[in-house]
Structure 1
Amino acid sequence: MTDHLDRRPLISAGTLLGIGMGGFVDGILFHQLLQLHNMLSAKLPVRDLEARKLAVHLEINMFWDGLFHVFTWVMTAIGIALLWHAVRLQNVPLTTRTFVGSLSLGWGLFNLVEGVIDHHILHIHHVTETSNHLIWDLAFLGAGMGLILVGWYLIHFDNGYKKGET
C-alpha cells in the first residue's frame, strides 16, 4: 500500500454528484416550479395552443422531462457509489474544499454541456421560451463557466492536502 495521496476519486465522485445536482436544480426549478421550459418546449410549445394540442404537447414534454430526470438520478447514483468508494480509500484526502470544488465543477459542466447541446445546437428548448431567449441562454452558459472556474479554483488551491501530490 502506498502513502501517496490521490484526490482523483473524490474529484470524480464530486463531479458526477455536481452533474446530477445541477440537472435536478434545472429540472425542478426551470421545468417544474418556474415552468419556463420543458425538454422539448421549443419544438412542442405549451403556450397559446388549443386544449387537445396542448395536452399532447404536455404529455410528450413530461415524458422527455422524465427521461432527463432519469439521467440526473443515474449521475447522482453513480456519484454516490464513487463517493462511497473514495471515502473508503486510505490515500484519498477528504477535504471539503476539493469536494465542494468538484460539486461546482460538475454543476458547471452540466450547465455548459446541456446549454450548448439543447439550447444552441439542437434548439429543443431555451431557458425561457420568449423572443429574447438568447440572453437567458447565454447567461445560463455564463453561470456554467462561472461554476467551472469556482470549482477549478477550489480544487487547484486546496491547502488541505500535501502539495506536490495528486
Structure 2
Amino acid sequence: MQTNPGRLTLPALLIGFALGGFLDGILLHQILQWHHLLSGVTAASDLRLQMFWDGIFHAAHYLLGFAGLWMLLSRRAHATDPGARRALVSASLIGFGAWHLLDAVLNHWILGLHRIREGSPNLLAWDLVFFGLGLVSVALGIWVSRRRSGGGGRTVAAGLAACVLAGAPASALPPRQVDPAVQQIVTGGLLPGFCAAWTRIAPPR
C-alpha cells in the first residue's frame, strides 16, 4: 500500500472542529455558564428552551466528532506513514481554530445568537479574545503543516480518539441547578455549576 498521510487530514479536521464545539459547550455553556446557544434571542429565564438548543448543539458535534473518529479508524493504516504526525496535528489545530472563527463570525456577529460573556459591559472584547484563539490555532496548524517531519502519528491519532470519547459524554452532562443566593454571594452571579454542586454535597463545617 502506498503511503499517503494526507488521507488523515479530513478526519483530523472534523475531530478538531468537534473538539472546538465541545470546549465551548462544556466550559462556557455548562461550567462557567457565560452563555447558551440562544442567549441572545431567548429569555434567560427560559432555561428549558435554552438547554434544548444546547442539546441540539452538542448532538451536532457528536455527529461530527464520531464521523471523524470513524474515518480515522477506517484509515488507521496510514497512521504509520511518514508525515502522519504532522498531518494529524496540523489538521486538528486548523479544525479547532476554524470552529472558533466560524462561531464568532456567524453566531456572534452575523446571526447574533449569543455573545461569549453575556452581561459583560464589553461584549466585543470577549468575542475578540475568542476569535483570536481561533486565529492562533489556525496559524499554529499552518505552521506545523510546513514543518518537515517524517514521524508516524499513532500516538496523535490515539490522543484525538481519546479526546472525542471523553468529550462527548462530558458534553451530555446536565447543567447544575445553582442556588441563586449562594451564586450571588460567592461569585456575584458567575458561580460555575460544578462549584454549586459541591456546596450541596460538601459536609457543613
Structure 1 residue 97 displacement after superposition? 3.0
SS in structure 1 at match of 2:143: helix
Code of the residue aligned with 2:28 in structure 1: it is F
Does the 8 A contact of 1:31 with 1:37 survive in 2? Answer: yes
What is residue 9 of structure 1 aligned with on the other side? 7
AA partner of residue 60 (structure 1): L
The 10-residue stretch of structure 1 (69-78 or 129-138) with the greater mean CA deviation from structure 2? 129-138
Q: CA shift at 1:99, angstroms?
A: 1.3
Query: Which residue matches 1:49?
Result: none
Percent of residue pairs identical: 33
Q: Structure with the greater relative contact order (CA < 8 A, sep ≥ 6): 1 or 2?
A: 1
TM, length-normalised to structure 1 = 0.83
Summarize the Cα distance change of 1:78–1:158 in structure 2 as closer, same or farther, 3 Å threshold: farther
Structure 1 residues 37-69: Cα deviation after superposition (integer angstroms, max 9, x where no partner): 0001011242xxxxxxx2xx2111101100000
In the alignment, the residues of structure 1 paired with residue 78 and residue 141 of structure 2 have an alpha-carbon distance, to the nearest angstrom, of 23
- Which residues of structure 2 form unaligned runs of 5+? 152-205
Corresponding residue number in structure 2 for 1:20: 18
Over aligned residues, Cα RMSD in angstroms? 1.9
Residues 15-94 of structure 1 mapped to structure 2, 5 A cutoff: 15-46=13-44, 54=45, 57-89=46-78, 92-93=81-82
Name the CA distance, whole Å, in 2 between partners of 1:97 and 1:9.
Answer: 12
If the length of structure 2 is used for normalisation, what is the TM-score?
A: 0.68
Q: Deviations over 1:74-125 (max 9, x none)?
A: 1110110111122134895463332122211110011111111100100010
2:139 maps to which of 137, 149, 161: 149
